[in-house]
């Protein structure tokens, strides 16, 4: 079997997605997500200009060798652009291999370890009251786990609070929007949200919260401590993680479980965090951490240190990434939870998929491959439209982490 074509498809059914479609001389094809939110076209160029020419003529079954060829062989290793491009290749090749085997991908990954993949949805509101109403909606939909974010008094807008309730789309403008941030106001407000949610909903549901990289280690330690009575499933991205050692300080001070890693690209980005058991959940994904081959390596490494998976699953990760992630989640012994921010109906139509939601769980389905396809005719009707994530400044104008 030989690879005959590697085509990059860019589409914007409400938001931009980059997809790689690899075709073989036997007519079988596979697809992989290559979307890097706000920097999409750099991955398009990487794939078209630098990867596709080296793929044609190769045996698609040699997934590991092809992975190593593009990782080691690039000389310039790691980084989000490179790893998203490698991920797309890897995901498409696993899709092809599972189609050849005539099996759903999870069978090739060792078979199922559970009946379904527990997911969490995103409840958010302008204030605590509205967030409570949104949490009720997720409870009614059958979710077992819900992430809660609320607007902060005195701040015009903040991460995680959406106008459009079921779909949170932060890449919202042709030029980056500017947000204003105050750690003082946030730290005062966040515990009140979870106090109210526990009063209202009790402890039957898992509650999660995303800090989105805005605190310093000692502030994160303080927040973790103040949230302890509300027993969160996790506190996410409490601090930026370039310094993995920062988590030692947070860990010393709080029993609130910690999750990080949605922007990580490799196993090296999380080595200290995992080896020293400084976190509870690793959030690396198929698309941003080198595909199924590399994410599985990270999860296996994490499993020996009692760290479980909590893969990123925001709207900017395409259904092709979600499908692949669900197969890995069904099979991995140390699966923890999967983020599930729903896609719009337009996106779901462009990417027909076998996965389905029931009673708080997603199941990848039994279609051979990863079960996600792309309707190229429909995709062509939605041309790329530049969209940036916001930037963030402190109240005095200082650039901060968004």
**Residue ranges that bind ligand EZ4, judged by CB under 6 A:** 37, 170, 210, 212, 262, 312, 314, 316, 339, 389
Total residues at interface with Co ion (CB under 5 A): 2
Q: Which of 122, 189, 209, 212 is catalytic?
A: 212
Q: Which does 170 bind (CB under 5 to 8 A by kind): Co ion, ligand EZ4, none?
A: ligand EZ4
Nearest-approach distance from CB 313 to ligand EZ4, in angstroms: 8
Report the candidate in 210, 211, 219, 295 with the shortest Cα–Cα distance to residue 33.
295
Mapping DSSP onto H, E and C, the string for the chain reads CCEEEEEEEEECCCCCEEEEEEEECCCCEEEEECCCCCCHHHHHHHHHHHHHHHHCCCCCCCHHHHHHHHHCCCCCCCCHHHHHHHHHHHHHHHHHHHHHHCCEHHHHCCCCCCCCEEEEEEEEECCHHHHHHHHHHHHHCCCCEEEEEECCCCCCCCCCCCCCCCCCCCCCECCCCEEEECHHHHHHHHHHHHHHHHHHHCCCCEEEEECCCCCCHHHHHHHHHHHHHHCCCEEECCCCCCCCCHHHHHHHHCCCCEEECCCCCCHHHHHHHHHCCCCCEECCCCCCCCHHHHHHHHHHHHHCCCCEEEECCCCCCCHHHHHHHHHHHHHCCCEEEEECCCCCHHHHHHCCECCEEECCEEECCCCCECCECCCHHHHCCCCCCCCECCEEEECCCCEECC
Stretch that binds Co ion, among 25-33, 153-161, 181-189, 259-267 (CB under 5 A): 259-267
Nearest-approach distance from CB 186 to ligand EZ4, in angstroms: 15
Q: Which does 314 bind (CB under 5 to 8 A by kind): ligand EZ4, Co ion, none?
A: ligand EZ4
Q: Which does 316 bind (CB under 5 to 8 A by kind): Co ion, ligand EZ4, none?
A: ligand EZ4
Nearest-approach distance from CB 224 to ligand EZ4, in angstroms: 18
Residue 159 falls in the annotated catalytic set: yes
- In terms of CB distance, is 24 or 37 closer to ligand EZ4? 37
Q: Is 210 in the site for Co ion (CB under 5 A)?
A: yes
Nearest-approach distance from CB 317 to ligand EZ4, in angstroms: 7
- In terms of CB distance, is 60 or 170 closer to Co ion? 170
Q: Is 95 in the site for Co ion (CB under 5 A)?
A: no
Asked if 60 contacts 29 with a C-beta cutoff of 8 angstroms, the reply is: no
Nearest-approach distance from CB 170 to ligand EZ4, in angstroms: 5
Residue 212 falls in the annotated catalytic set: yes
Q: Is 316 in the site for Co ion (CB under 5 A)?
A: no
Q: Which does 155 bind (CB under 5 to 8 A by kind): Co ion, ligand EZ4, none?
A: none
- In terms of CB distance, is 251 or 312 closer to ligand EZ4? 312
Q: Which does 19 bind (CB under 5 to 8 A by kind): ligand EZ4, Co ion, none?
A: none
- In terms of CB distance, is 92 or 337 closer to Co ion? 337
Nearest-approach distance from CB 211 to ligand EZ4, in angstroms: 10
**Both tokens assigned to 73:** 């062989």
Q: Which does 269 bind (CB under 5 to 8 A by kind): ligand EZ4, Co ion, none?
A: none
Q: Which of 71, 159, 361, 382 is catalytic?
A: 159
**Residue 27 CA neighbour count, 13 Å, CB half:** 0
- In terms of CB distance, is 11 or 392 closer to Co ion? 392
> What is the binding site for Co ion (CB under 5 A)?
210, 262
- Residues labelled catalytic: 159, 212
């Amino acid at each position: 079997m030989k690879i005959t074509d590697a085509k990059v498809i860019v589409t914007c059914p409400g938001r931009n997605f980059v997809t790689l479609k690899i075709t073989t001389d036997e007519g079988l094809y596979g697809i992989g997500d290559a979307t890097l939110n706000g920097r999409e076209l750099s991955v398009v160029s990487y794939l078209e200009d630098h990867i596709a020419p080296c793929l044609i003529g190769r045996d698609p079954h040699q997934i590991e060798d092809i992975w190593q060829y593009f990782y080691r062989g690039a000389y310039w290793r790691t980084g989000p652009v490179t790893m998203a491009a490698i991920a797309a290749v890897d995901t498409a090749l696993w899709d092809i291999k599972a189609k050849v085997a005539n099996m759903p991908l999870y069978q090739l990954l060792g078979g199922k370890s559970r009946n379904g993949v527990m997911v969490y949805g995103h409840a958010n509101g302008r204030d605590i009251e509205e967030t409570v109403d949104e949490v009720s909606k997720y409870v009614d939909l059958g979710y077992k786990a819900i992430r809660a974010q609320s607007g902060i008094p005195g701040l015009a807008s903040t991460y995680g609070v959406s106008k459009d309730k079921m779909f949170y789309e932060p890449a919202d403008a042709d030029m980056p929007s500017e947000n204003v941030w105050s750690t003082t106001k946030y730290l005062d407000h966040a515990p009140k949200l979870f106090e109210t949610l526990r009063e209202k909903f009790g402890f039957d549901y898992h509650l999660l919260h995303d800090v989105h990289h805005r605190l310093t280690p000692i502030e994160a330690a303080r927040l973790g401590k103040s949230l302890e009575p509300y027993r969160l499933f996790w506190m996410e991205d409490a601090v930026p993680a370039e310094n993995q050692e920062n988590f030692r300080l947070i860990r010393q001070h709080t029993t609130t479980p910690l999750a990080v890693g949605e922007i990580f690209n490799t196993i090296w980005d999380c080595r200290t965090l995992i080896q020293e058991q400084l976190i509870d959940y690793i959030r690396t994904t198929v698309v941003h951490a080198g595909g199924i081959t590399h994410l599985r390596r990270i999860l296996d490494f994490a499993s020996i240190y009692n760290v479980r998976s909590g893969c990123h699953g925001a709207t900017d990760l395409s259904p092709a990434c979600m499908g692949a992630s669900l197969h890995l989640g069904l099979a991995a012994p140390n699966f923890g939870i999967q983020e599930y921010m729903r896609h719009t109906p337009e996106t779901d139509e462009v990417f027909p998929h076998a996965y389905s939601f029931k009673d708080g769980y997603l199941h990848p389905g039994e279609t051979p491959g990863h079960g996600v396809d792309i309707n190229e005719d429909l995709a062509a009707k939605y041309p790329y439209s530049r969209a940036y994530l916001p930037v963030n400044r402190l109240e005095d104008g200082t650039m901060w982490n968004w």
